[in-house]
Amino acid sequence: MNIPKLQIQTTDAKINLRTIQPTQRIEQPKADLDLQQPKAKMEIQTTKSKLSIDAFEMRESMGYKNARALTREAAQKAIQDVLEGIGRRAQEGGQLMRIENGGNPIVEQAKTKGLQPYSSLNIKFIPQADSVKIDYKPSKVDIQVEPQQVINNTKVNKPIHDYTPVKVEIEIIQYPSVKIDWYV
């Protein structure tokens, strides 16, 4: 008996794959830096200090006096000397009036006038304590500072990105086929 036969013959497909590797380049440019710092505004105000020294009492205690004080003292001394002179002359006149009572008043008066008492030297070089009055008012300083803000004009540059993706080339070297035959 003849049985028909079916014969199937296939050919596989053959392909060739060729890949081109991807490339990537990334570059980051530097930022354009523009920073400015303005100077702070500063204002300084000062008041003058004041020093006053009153040395009037010190100078007076050392013998240095102004014209008013010297005139006042000279007037007081003159009044005292005049009064002492009047009293001395009145006493001497009284002695001369009573010459008949004995004694020699003219000789005695000459002796007392001829002998002058020694005057002592009173030298003062050191002024009296607390005789100089000092008044001091210190100066005042007022400082006003106004800081200024930073001016920032910095520009950020975007990165440069070049990318070539992978490339795959497909080539068919052999096409597939199916061949069917019947044999009787």
Number of domains in the chain: 1
Contact between residue 52 and residue 159 where contact means Cβ atoms under 8 Å apart: no
Q: In whole angstroms, what is the distance from residue 45 CA to residue 144 CA?
A: 9
Q: In this model, does residue 25 exceed pLDDT 90?
A: yes
Q: In this model, does residue 161 exceed pLDDT 90?
A: yes
Range 76-80 average pLDDT: 93
Q: In this model, does residue 1 exceed pLDDT 70?
A: no
Considering the chain, what is the average pLDDT of its residues?
Answer: 85
Contact between residue 79 and residue 86 where contact means Cβ atoms under 8 Å apart: no
3-state secondary structure the chain: CCCCEEEEEEECCEEEEEEECCEEEEECCCCECCEECCCCEEEEEECCCEEEEECHHHHHHCCCCCHHHHHHHHHHHHHHHHHHHHHHHHHHHHHHHCHHHCCCHHHHHHHHHHCCCCCCCCCCCCCCCCCCEEEEECCCEEEEEECCCCEECCECCCCEEEEECCEEEEEEEECCEEEEEEEC
Q: In this model, does residue 50 exceed pLDDT 90?
A: yes
Range of the domain at 35: 5-183
Predicted pLDDT at 116: 65
Q: What is the pLDDT of residues 89-138, one digit of tens each?
A: 888 888 888 877 777 877 787 777 776 666 666 665 666 777 788 899 99
